[in-house]
């Protein structure tokens, strides 16, 4: 039996995908093309005059030690955010999956932080950890630990990671929970009857069966850590101290919109474009192989 749909009209399929293509073109290809074009120029902020510099903007970027270090900062930040938010979410999901009474209340509460805008999340954490007036900074001081993320790069990184990961836990939780509930109970029960402990069941049955969800979340979280955490960093550290929390996307903003250096900003966008492309290929070619659908 032939299941494929055959269009008799030649133009209909193109017409049907046209809206999607249009959206992709207007919101992706056009701006990306603009960024590539602009990266070859140094314009003045008002757009009154512009100079062609070829690859000059890239030369300038990669000659800058702080830009090169920003790659490492981004890697550390993304890995920390992804690992901490995903593992915490998985732990919560496993617990929530086992709750019988009042589970919907738990779940609702756990999903709440997702509705908080990144900038607001940043301000919330900043209030708690403000070195002078923050309640947690004060508590830490009482036990003899001096908290000042304005000076200590490690503390600053910990704070932006915590704020970014916290926000993302809800989202991860939601998907993990759905993933857990999709695992057939019979498989787990069979293992339990065979005498497998909870941890054994988790590692040999649940975790492998959850891998499509985990892989999906890995991709989403890395993209989140790369691009959407900008608001958190802007409100908490502005990339400081000493650029220890300047991730690549924050630098694009800082150079373009604070420094009015649109040429460099465009060049950085192009670098990010390439980087994300490479990352996506890596994820799908190498990590997806280990996923059991």
Partner 1 sequence: MKKIIASGVLAALMSSVAPASAATQVDFWHAFTGRLGELLDEQVSKFNASQDEYVVVATNKGNYSETLNAGIAAFRAGEQPDILQVFEVGTATMMGAKGAIKPVYEVMDESGLPFDQSAYLAAVAGYYTTTDGQMLSLPYNSSTPVLYVNKDALKAAGLDPEMDLSTWEQVGTALDALKESGNKCPLTTAWQSWVHLETLSAYHNVPFASKENGFAGVDTELTFNGDVQVKHIETLGQWAKDGKFIYSGRRNEGGAPFRAGECALFTESSAGYAGVKNEATFDFAIRPLPYWSDVEGAPQNTIIGGASLWVMEGQTAEEYKGVAAFFNFLSSSEIQAKWHQDTGYLPITMAAYEATKASGFYDENPGTDISIIQMTGKAPTADSKGIRLGNFDQIRGIIDEELEGVWNGSKSAKDALDSAVSRGDELLRRFEQANR
Residue placing its CB nearer to partner 1 in the complex, 46 or 293: 46
Q: How wide is the angle at C-alpha 68 spanned by C-alphas 232 and 230, nearest 5°?
A: 10
User: Measured between alpha carbons, how far is 113 from 173 in angstroms, rounded to an integer?
Assistant: 11
Which CB atom, from 260 or from 280, has the smaller least distance to partner 1? 260
Q: How far is the CB of 118 from partner 1 (least distance, A)?
A: 17
Least gap, CB of 53 to partner 1 (angstroms): 8
CA distance 274 to 75: 15
Q: 126 vs 279, which CB is nearer to partner 1?
A: 126
The pair of three-digit structure tokens given for residue 153, joined into one six-digit string: 């790069």
Q: Which is nearer to partner 1, 113 or 240 (CB)?
A: 240
Torsion of Cα atoms, 194 then 197 then 200 then 201, to 10° = 70
| Residue 222: partners with Cβ closer than 8 Å, 6 or more residues away | 78, 82, 279, 283
Least distance in angstroms from the C-beta of 22 to partner 1: 23
Nearer to partner 1, 123 or 276 (CB): 123
Residues found near partner 1 in the complex (CB under 8 A): 42-48, 51, 60, 64, 66, 131-133, 148, 150-152, 238, 240-243, 254-255, 257-261, 263-264
> Least separation, in Å, of the C-beta of 143 and partner 1?
17
Radius of gyration of the chain from Cα atoms?
24
Q: Which is nearer to partner 1, 212 or 240 (CB)?
A: 240
Write the CA distances from 159 to 24, 67, 125, 232, 233, integer angstroms.
Answer: 36, 22, 8, 10, 9
How many whole angstroms separate alpha carbon 88 and alpha carbon 221? Answer: 13
Q: Shortest distance, CB of residue 57 to partner 1, whole angstroms?
A: 10
As measured in angstroms, the least distance from the Cβ of 175 to partner 1 is: 36
E strand or H helix at 124: helix 118-129
């Amino acid at each position: 039996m032939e299941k494929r749909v055959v269009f008799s009209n030649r133009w209909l399929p193109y017409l049907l995908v046209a809206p999607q293509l249009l959206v992709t073109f207007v919101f992706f290809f056009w701006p990306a093309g603009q960024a590539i074009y602009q990266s070859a120029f140094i314009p003045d902020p008002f757009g009154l005059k512009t100079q062609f510099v070829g690859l000059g903007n890239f030369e300038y970027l990669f000659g800058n030690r702080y830009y090169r270090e920003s790659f490492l900062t981004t890697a550390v930040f993304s890995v920390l955010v992804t690992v901490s938010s995903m593992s915490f979410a998985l732990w919560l999901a496993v617990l929530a999956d086992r709750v019988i009474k009042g589970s919907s209340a738990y779940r609702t509460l756990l999903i709440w932080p997702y509705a908080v805008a990144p900038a607001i999340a940043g301000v919330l954490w900043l209030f708690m950890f403000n070195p002078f007036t923050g309640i947690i900074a004060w508590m830490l001081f009482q036990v003899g630990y001096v908290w000042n993320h304005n000076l200590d790069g490690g503390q600053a990184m910990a704070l932006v990671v915590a704020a970014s990961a916290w926000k993302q836990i809800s989202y991860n939780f939601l998907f993990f929970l759905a993933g857990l509930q999709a695992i057939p109970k019979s498989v787990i029960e069979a293992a339990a009857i065979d005498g497998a402990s909870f941890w054994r069941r988790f590692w040999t049955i649940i975790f492998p069966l959850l891998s499509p969800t985990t892989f999906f979340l890995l991709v989403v979280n890395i993209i989140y850590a790369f691009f959407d955490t900008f608001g958190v960093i802007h409100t908490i550290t502005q990339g400081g101290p000493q650029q220890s929390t300047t991730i690549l996307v924050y630098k694009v903003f800082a150079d373009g919109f604070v420094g009015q250096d649109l040429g460099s900003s465009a060049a950085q966008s192009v670098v990010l474009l390439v980087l994300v492309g490479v990352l996506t290929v890596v994820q799908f070619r190498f990590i997806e192989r280990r996923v059991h659908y």
